[in-house]
């Protein structure tokens, strides 16, 4: 087991054991950049610590102290020595970056005695006490689990008493008095006193950092980002440099390019005379990095050159933490910078053009789900929003929701189906569940690299930070201009934020749909050259079809025709059809629906000219088109009380109620729906098929290339498909007549009932294509109601790791996946030309797309906005897995 590694002995390739931060500090040391000396305790030790039930391995601490001796030599100082005390930072460092989720302690090694030594050595007592009070607070927080507000409160009170506003106005005596109060707080709440021995501090700090791997927020972050629990964190121990020693000192964060847009400018912020976490914590609003050039041109030059060197070295945009101590630059961390989707795309393309990376690498660098963010909405430029204030544009996208002021309320309201915007003075890692639940985040303090900004960008949520005109009050915020309150927004009031411009807006605003950028088009073009899977879309209207085609859809994989029955003007006709007493009445209602549907299909065919359009015949149970039975019963009872017995209106309601009750089913998802409906009421499917072929004929006459594929839902038995196919072919012949040879159409089926998958060989005899309806197939294979499971037990299953993920989002490969594999193989054995694809929600999920590629399916179909994501994911699958062969036909097994 590798346990303790000095920076000069590590390298970037040891990231699994040194964590990201440790590996990069080692790498920076190796390439000669100014990094304060330090060492890393590996993730192996973290795993051993947990395996031993929370115990450091034998001898580990002695090894740590040996490494400390190395630091003492390098610095000419001694740990715990009052005459020349060595101070160190103790920081977590996971393999996968988890910003702000785990703990850090700075200035370790200070005690009542050594603080005096530091004061003497630096000739600056104010500085020494400032460091000491920071240590006690961080230590109290991290090791003793005391909430920060205990300390913040005392600091605020001290400043109030002294009539000052800023921390740097605190004198040495004021800090010293506060230190006594801080120590007393620890004793009061824990019964323990702040340890005065440097070695004891170090041991407790190391253990606390290991413990922080398992704190609540880190566990949530890991589950959102699929980071394995066994990865563990490393601990980095590094000698301190000080950004808070005076006006020629400071600390900051820079990105080598703008992480919001990808623009090639040094981007970041710094605070003069500040230490450590002040910048990211968002407590003071920092200055833009360009100001450093004015204040300390020499340091700025060094910083620019180090930043460029690091970007070239890592071949990616870097996020760098630095400190300036008495005019000298030190680098404390570098990592690949988190970026918005827009910047990710921009940078991937630019790095290819600069010759830094290949097209393949560019595609692999895109996180497909981030493209969802890129295709986020913006505020319609034509709208005239009531702008209350402006802050920093920290994460793009616009959002509207009800204002809430704490993370728990955000979570609770969102669970209750409300849209919320989380408004905080600044966010801390404890707020992560609120950020997750919110549509967007607004903070009154903190910069573009503050916690709120980083976390929101990572999650693809809109965020406005550092909006100073707003002031938080009790469950409300005020907006102030020139010290006058111009507006007050209470909890629950609607607001909107625009993360692209920083605007904060009163009320709900009109949002505009997103567009593709030239860089994204280019990247998608490269992906298209690589991928094997085709990408279709699920679209029910001509508008959606146009949008999806713009995003690169190569066909429609699922057009759900029920939506064509649901518009307000059609509902009365549809109800008339369902309630018809005689075949004639029903035929007349269907005759009214036919031209409406025909018009819909013509629109879709025109939009998808030259591409396949898969139209699914009616699927849901008929009661879905009728009013709710309970509401009807109430209405009926009220009429009974108020109206004469034979009122025509009441008779109407009675008839409706009878019909609704007669259609009622205990398990409608397993009831009269899909092809069962088509078999019981062939006239409905006949009308739909007639409408499809009339529309096709009309388009043919207009010289439009139409390619209809007709799809039968919920087939479980070959006999069902056989009959339905006969119906389609018969109606096609009737409508097309002479023109039949001019139109090529296909008839296929959804495979969404387990029996259909198992007997796919027989079913394939009657199908030209299989489209796996993985929503129903998941529901029926796992026996989880798709309407209930997610709100009931499924989150518990996922949280307690009974399931690796929600099977309605990420395909269950072991179960549902095996049915797909079997069905595709059996189908192809009978009919080698059989086309196969997935049209459930999984068609827009990266992992599921990888599965479809590996299994050799022909296409995936997903909602229009996910088409770009699917194109990238399909290319990534081809790059990661090689060009999987098309489905290999198996020995056919045919049932009756």
Residues engaged in binding ligand PEP (CB under 6 A): 558, 560, 619, 752, 773-776, 839-840
Alpha-carbon span 879 to 208, nearest angstrom: 41
Between 619 and 845, name the residue whose CB sits nearer to ligand PEP.
619
* Minimum CB–partner distance for residue 790 and Mg ion (Å): 16
Between 156 and 567, name the residue whose CB sits nearer to ligand PEP.
567
* Minimum CB–partner distance for residue 775 and Mg ion (Å): 5
Between 64 and 771, name the residue whose CB sits nearer to ligand PEP.
771
* Minimum CB–partner distance for residue 811 and ligand PEP (Å): 11
Cβ distance 22 to 234 under 8 Å? Answer: yes
End-to-end CA distance of the chain: 61
State the DSSP H helix or E strand holding residue 318, giving kind and residue range, or none if neither.
strand 318-325
> How many residues are given for the chain?
896
* Minimum CB–partner distance for residue 786 and Mg ion (Å): 9
| 78: phi then psi, degrees, rounded to nearest 5 | -125, 140
User: Residue 235's beta-bridge partner residues?
Assistant: 41, 92
* Minimum CB–partner distance for residue 774 and ligand PEP (Å): 5
Alpha-carbon span 26 to 9, nearest angstrom: 7
- Tell me how many residues contact Mg ion (CB under 5 A): 3
Q: Which one of Mg ion, ligand PEP, none interacts with residue 840, CB within 5 to 8 A by kind?
A: ligand PEP
State the DSSP H helix or E strand holding residue 860, giving kind and residue range, or none if neither.
strand 859-862
Pick from 580, 507, 615: nearest CA to 861: 615
Between 686 and 776, name the residue whose CB sits nearer to Mg ion.
776
* Minimum CB–partner distance for residue 260 and ligand PEP (Å): 36
Q: Which one of ligand PEP, Mg ion, none interacts with residue 252, CB within 5 to 8 A by kind?
A: none
**From start to end of 674-766, where are the E strands?**
707-712, 746-751
Q: DSSP of 412-449, one letter per residue?
A: HHHHTT--EEEEESS--GGGHHHHHHSSEEEESS--TT
Between 124 and 776, name the residue whose CB sits nearer to Mg ion.
776
494-498 β-sheet, strand order: 386-390, 503-506, 494-498, 398-404, 420-424, 440-443, 463-465, 392-395
* Minimum CB–partner distance for residue 752 and Mg ion (Å): 5
* Minimum CB–partner distance for residue 604 and ligand PEP (Å): 17
With CB atoms as reference, the residue minimizing the distance to Mg ion is 776
Alpha-carbon span 373 to 147, nearest angstrom: 34
* Minimum CB–partner distance for residue 839 and Mg ion (Å): 9
Q: Which one of ligand PEP, Mg ion, none interacts with residue 558, CB within 5 to 8 A by kind?
A: ligand PEP
* Minimum CB–partner distance for residue 846 and ligand PEP (Å): 18
Q: Which one of ligand PEP, Mg ion, none interacts with residue 47, CB within 5 to 8 A by kind?
A: none
Between 283 and 558, name the residue whose CB sits nearer to ligand PEP.
558
Pick from 852, 840, 683: nearest CA to 775: 840
* Minimum CB–partner distance for residue 31 and ligand PEP (Å): 52
Half-sphere exposure of 351 (CA within 13 A, CB side): 26
Q: Which one of Mg ion, ligand PEP, none interacts with residue 868, CB within 5 to 8 A by kind?
A: none
At 656 the three-state DSSP class reads: helix
Sketch the per residue contact string, 762 through 801, with Mg ion: x for CB under 5 A, - otherwise.
Answer: -----------x--x-------------------------
Q: Which one of Mg ion, ligand PEP, none interacts with residue 774, CB within 5 to 8 A by kind?
A: ligand PEP
Between 367 and 776, name the residue whose CB sits nearer to ligand PEP.
776
Q: Which one of Mg ion, ligand PEP, none interacts with residue 612, CB within 5 to 8 A by kind?
A: none
Cβ distance 849 to 874 under 8 Å? Answer: yes
Pick from 862, 856, 850: nearest CA to 834: 856
At 40 the three-state DSSP class reads: strand
Between 102 and 574, name the residue whose CB sits nearer to ligand PEP.
574
Between 330 and 625, name the residue whose CB sits nearer to Mg ion.
625
* Minimum CB–partner distance for residue 859 and Mg ion (Å): 17
Between 105 and 860, name the residue whose CB sits nearer to ligand PEP.
860
Dihedral sign for Cα atoms in the order 123, 127, 132, 135: negative
451 tagged catalytic: yes
Burial (CB count within 10 angstroms: exposed 0-12, middle 13-18, buried 19+), residue 272: buried
Between 289 and 711, name the residue whose CB sits nearer to ligand PEP.
711
Q: Which one of ligand PEP, Mg ion, none interacts with residue 839, CB within 5 to 8 A by kind?
A: ligand PEP
Pick from 210, 231, 5, 204: nearest CA to 97: 231
Alpha-carbon span 722 to 893, nearest angstrom: 18
| 239: phi then psi, degrees, rounded to nearest 5 | -70, 145
Sketch the per residue contact string, 724 through 763, with Mg ion: x for CB under 5 A, - otherwise.
Answer: ----------------------------x-----------
Catalytic residue among 370, 376, 451, 766: 451
Q: Which one of ligand PEP, Mg ion, none interacts with residue 25, CB within 5 to 8 A by kind?
A: none
Q: Which one of ligand PEP, Mg ion, none interacts with residue 748, CB within 5 to 8 A by kind?
A: none
Between 692 and 839, name the residue whose CB sits nearer to ligand PEP.
839
Q: DSSP of 340-405, one letter per residue?
A: -HHHHHHHHHHHHHTTSS-HHHHHHT--TTHHHHHT--EE-TTS--EEEEE-EEEE-SEEEEEEE-
Helices 172-190, 149-162: inter-axial angle, 10-degree rounding: 150
Both structure tokens of 352: 């290819």
At 214 the three-state DSSP class reads: coil
Q: Which one of ligand PEP, Mg ion, none interacts with residue 560, CB within 5 to 8 A by kind?
A: ligand PEP
* CB environment 851-883: b (16+ within 10 A), e (fewer): bbbbbbbbbbbbbbbbbbbbbbbbbbbbbeeee
* Minimum CB–partner distance for residue 752 and ligand PEP (Å): 5
Q: Which one of Mg ion, ligand PEP, none interacts with residue 858, CB within 5 to 8 A by kind?
A: none
Catalytic residue among 839, 842, 852, 853: 839
Between 439 and 752, name the residue whose CB sits nearer to Mg ion.
752
State the DSSP H helix or E strand holding residue 122, giving kind and residue range, or none if neither.
helix 112-122
Cβ distance 99 to 455 under 8 Å? Answer: yes
Asked if residue 540 binds Mg ion (CB under 5 A), the reply is: no
- Whole-angstrom CA distances from 646 to 331, 633, 652 are 87, 17, 10
Both structure tokens of 102: 């785990």
Residue with the two structure tokens 């280019």: 522
Active site residues: 451, 839
Interface ranges with Mg ion (CB under 5 A)? 752, 773, 776
């Amino acid at each position: 087991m590798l346990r303790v590694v000095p920076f000069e002995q590590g390298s970037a390739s040891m990231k699994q054991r040194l964590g990201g931060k440790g590996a990069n500090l080692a790498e920076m040391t190796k390439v000669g950049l100014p990094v304060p000396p330090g060492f890393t305790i590996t993730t192996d030790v973290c795993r051993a610590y947990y395996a031993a039930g929370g115990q450091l391995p034998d001898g580990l601490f002695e090894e740590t102290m040996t490494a400390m001796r190395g630091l003492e030599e390098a610095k000419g100082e001694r740990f715990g020595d009052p005459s020349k005390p060595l101070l160190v930072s103790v920081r977590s460092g996971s393999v996968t970056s988890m910003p702000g989720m785990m703990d850090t302690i700075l200035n370790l090694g200070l005690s009542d005695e050594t603080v005096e030594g530091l004061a003497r050595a630096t000739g600056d007592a104010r500085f020494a006490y400032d460091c000491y009070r920071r240590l006690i607070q961080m230590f109290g927080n991290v090791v003793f689990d005391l909430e920060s507000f205990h300390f913040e409160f005392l600091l605020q009170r001290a400043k109030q008493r002294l009539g000052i506003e800023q921390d740097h106005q605190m004198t040495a005596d004021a800090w010293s008095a506060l230190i006594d109060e801080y120590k007393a707080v620890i004793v009061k709440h824990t019964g323990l006193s702040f340890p005065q021995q440097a070695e004891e501090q170090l041991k407790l700090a190391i253990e606390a950092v290991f413990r922080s791997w398992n704190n609540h927020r880190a566990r949530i972050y890991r589950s959102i980002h699929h980071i394995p629990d066994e990865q563990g964190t490393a601990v980095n121990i590094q000698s301190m440099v000080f950004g808070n020693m005076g006006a020629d000192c400071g600390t900051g964060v820079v990105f080598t390019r703008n992480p919001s847009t990808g623009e090639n400018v040094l981007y970041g912020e710094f605070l003069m005379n500040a230490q450590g976490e002040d910048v990211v914590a968002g407590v003071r609003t920092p200055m833009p990095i360009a100001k450093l050039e004015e204040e300390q041109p020499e340091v700025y030059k060094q910083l620019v050159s180090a930043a460029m060197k690091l970007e070239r070295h890592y071949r990616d945009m870097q996020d760098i933490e630095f400190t300036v101590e008495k005019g000298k630059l030190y680098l404390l961390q570098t990592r690949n910078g988190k970026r918005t989707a827009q910047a990710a795309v921009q940078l991937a393309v630019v790095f290819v053009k600069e010759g830094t990376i290949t097209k393949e690498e560019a595609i692999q660098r895109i996180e497909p789900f981030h493209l969802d963010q890129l295709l986020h909405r913006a505020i319609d430029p034509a709208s005239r929003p009531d702008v209350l204030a402006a802050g920093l544009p920290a994460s793009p996208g616009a959002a509207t929701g009800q204002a809430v002021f704490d993370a728990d309320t955000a979570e609770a309201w969102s669970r209750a189906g409300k849209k919320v915007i989380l408004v905080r003075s600044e966010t801390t890692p404890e707020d992560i569940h609120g950020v997750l639940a919110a549509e967007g985040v607004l903070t009154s303090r903190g910069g573009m690299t503050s916690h709120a900004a980083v976390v929101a960008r990572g999650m693809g949520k809109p965020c406005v930070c550092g909006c100073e005109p707003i002031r938080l009050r009790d469950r409300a915020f005020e907006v102030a201009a020139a010290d006058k309150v111009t507006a007050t927004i209470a909890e629950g009031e609607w607001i909107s934020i625009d993360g692209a411009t920083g605007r904060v807006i009163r009320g709900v605003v009109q949002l505009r749909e997103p567009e593709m950028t030239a860089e994204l088009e280019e990247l998608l073009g490269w992906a298209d050259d690589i991928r094997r899977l085709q990408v279709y879309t699920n679209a029910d209207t001509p508008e959606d079809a146009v949008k999806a085609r713009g995003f690169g859809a190569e066909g429609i994989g699922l057009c759900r025709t029920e939506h064509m029955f649901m518009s307000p003007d059609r509902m009365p006709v549809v109800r008339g059809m369902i309630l018809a007493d005689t075949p004639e009445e029903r035929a007349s209602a269907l005759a009214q629906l036919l031209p409406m549907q025909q018009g819909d299909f013509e629109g879709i065919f025109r939009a998808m000219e030259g591409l396949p359009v898969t139209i699914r015949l009616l699927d849901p149970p008929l009661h879905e088109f009728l009013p709710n039975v309970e509401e009807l019963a109430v209405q009926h009872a009220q009429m009974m009380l108020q109206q004469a017995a034979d009122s025509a209106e009441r008779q109407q309601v009675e008839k409706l109620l009878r019909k609704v009750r007669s259609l009622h089913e205990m398990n409608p998802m397993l009831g009269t729906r899909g092809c069962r409906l088509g078999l019981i009421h062939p006239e409905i499917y006949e009308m739909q098929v007639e409408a499809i072929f009339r529309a096709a004929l009309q388009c043919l006459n207009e010289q439009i290339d139409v390619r209809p594929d007709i799809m039968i839902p919920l087939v479980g038995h070959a006999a069902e498909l056989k009959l339905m196919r006969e119906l389609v072919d018969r109606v096609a012949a009737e409508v097309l007549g002479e023109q039949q040879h001019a139109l090529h159409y296909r008839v296929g089926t959804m495979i969404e009932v387990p029996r259909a998958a198992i007997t796919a060989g027989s079913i394939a005899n009657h199908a030209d294509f299989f489209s796996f309806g993985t929503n129903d197939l998941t529901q029926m294979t796992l026996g989880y109601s798709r309407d209930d499971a997610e709100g009931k037990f499924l989150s518990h299953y996922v949280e307690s790791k009974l399931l690796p993920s929600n099977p309605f989002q990420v395909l269950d490969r072991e179960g549902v996946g095996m049915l797909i594999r079997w069905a595709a193989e059996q189908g192809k054995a009978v009919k080698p030309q059989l086309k196969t694809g997935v049209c459930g929600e999984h068609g827009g999920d990266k992992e599921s797309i990888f599965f479809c590629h590996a299994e050799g399916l022909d296409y995936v179909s997903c909602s229009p906005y996910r088409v770009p994501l699917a194109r990238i994911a399909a290319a990534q699958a081809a790059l990661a897995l090689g060009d999987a062969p098309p489905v290999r036909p198996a020995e056919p097994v045919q049932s009756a």
